[in-house]
Structure 1
Amino acid sequence: MSLRGAVDLAAVKAAGEAKEKAQERARTAREQGAPVASSAVLDVDEASFEQEVLQRSASVPVVVDFWADWCQPCKQLSPVLEKLAEEYNGKFILAKLDIEANQALAQSILSQLGVQGIPFVLAFVGGQPVPMFQGAVPMEQARQVIDQLVDVAEQQFGIVGEPIGESPADDAEESALPEVPEDPALAAAHDALDRGDLGGAVQAYRNVLADRPGDEEAKAGLAQAELLQRTIDLDPAAVRSEAAENPTDPQAQIRAADLDLVGGHVEDAFGRLVETVGRVFGDDRNTVRVHLLSLFEVIGTEDPRVAAARQALARKLF
């Protein structure tokens, strides 16, 4: 097996470059006069809820503030949430929903969750609802809950936001930084992968991550090496036959998806697991969801196919 290009990995380093691309988008938007900073807080209604909340939550946690003009506690809580949204600068988006102007939508959501009063704050991550709190809460309590939300979004869903606004001084400082040479440990891991030493590559990437848990390039390399390690001894015909005969067997579908990805059939791999998420429940659903997120790491979170799959996953989960 030729490992270089065995998976469609033109974006092997895409995860590591995500921050730079986000910063570039922010700079471009600022140069074009777009209201970058104000996008941390937005008003949503029944017409925009699907796009601005559910679809947007595939790439950034969205916190929904259910409020009404007659609600005095809402007037205490809303400024707290707005201040935090600006402070967190893109780690989450605050969407404000006026329940009086959008009664059908608000009633549908609140009744499903058994909520009878406002203010009520509900987050969406990857299209999945995450209840936050009900009633007005102080700033520090709200901050603690949002910190937990941001951590859950990254650890369980692989979803992180991106900076909304940056100062020109920050841009100049970043551009003045010297280029950092490639880390020898990371280079050794890449070389092991290219040689077909999968065990050595896995260990080398893990060593890098032990020192730098946030190294996106090492995460992507480890995901690729583990994928190849899982599939190298599989019988493709047997795997595909088993998957066809057992559409609700999580492990059968996972093995087939892995083979799809190794063969370069990225959309097929993602689509198979998204459909399986829609067929199974409980622990089986979570197993498939988590594996799908690991395949996103292989391709790179900036790849448009990953964004499309995240949206499809969100529709299945919610």
Structure 2
Amino acid sequence: MTQQPFSRPGAIDLSGLKRQPPASGGAAGAPGAPAGGASSAYAVQVADEQGFQAAVEASMTAPVVLVFYAASQSPESATAARDVETVAGEYEGRFLAALVDVDRTPQIAQAMQIQQVPLMLVLIDGRPATQPIPGALSLDELRTLFNQLGQQLTAQGITGRHQPRTGPPAGADEAADEQPAADPRYAAAQAALEADDADGAVAEYQKLVDANPADAEAAAGLAMARVLQRTRGVDLTAARDAAAASPDDVEAQTLVADLDLLGGHVDDAFNRLIELVRRTSDKERDAAREHLLGLFAAVGNDDPRVIRARQQLASALF
């Protein structure tokens, strides 16, 4: 599984959608519809082009994970969509799963040029934020993926949350329906990131880690904030030239590794530092190893790439 960095390549073109009546019975309660009538408060079943437009617009608030599947032709893809719904619900508004049965909405599949199912696409601000992710992932792989997305969101100061799609009946206490825009524990750090204040974010995350060393999200946020702090104002070309000229210079190599990580080239960042560990000794080796461990924390210790890189690091050390 590979993780694509967030980007803003362009808005989704909805011009190809033809106005058609929704499938009879509606998708939300139809047999095989993964959402099962909104079994998760943070999932919607897209029944027609209006529902698709609403899902795209919802990504202006917080990320929407589009999942394309075919319930009648591929039960496995429907199971994959159900799994995405489950994992999205675990993040309590950080993501909204929008499930699209291409059998029932062929006009959407055609407009989006869907060639296979299942297929995932993350939207932010009405635009694709990753490359399409084909195939079914296990629950563990999905949790790893969503964890990575959450870390990148935090690092970029994207803190919005979706309101739950199900809740108390009309007339209930409105205050009880309100969802906080973000976890208050991380508010100060996220505010610093939004203000492009990497130093402030490092300080705030450090407070959280000092107070609770077991807070994995704070530790990941701290590691990523430190990457942002180290790379602030760095000229990418000059950094790469310096690293090429001095292959055993720990400072030059770790800086390029940071830049690779921010650019989404996670394996490249890890491999660069593992090879540096192989070539160096004493203080230089220790510095390269410690830096690499920090990048592991930024990506997430459960990430398959981190697990693989840890094995390679052990081999390089011993």
TM-score bracket relative to the smaller structure: 0.3 to 0.5
> In proportion to residue count, which structure has more helix?
1
Report the TM-score, using the length of structure 2 for normalisation.
0.42
Q: Which has the higher contact order (CA 8 A, sep 6+)?
A: 1
Report the TM-score, using the length of structure 1 for normalisation.
0.42
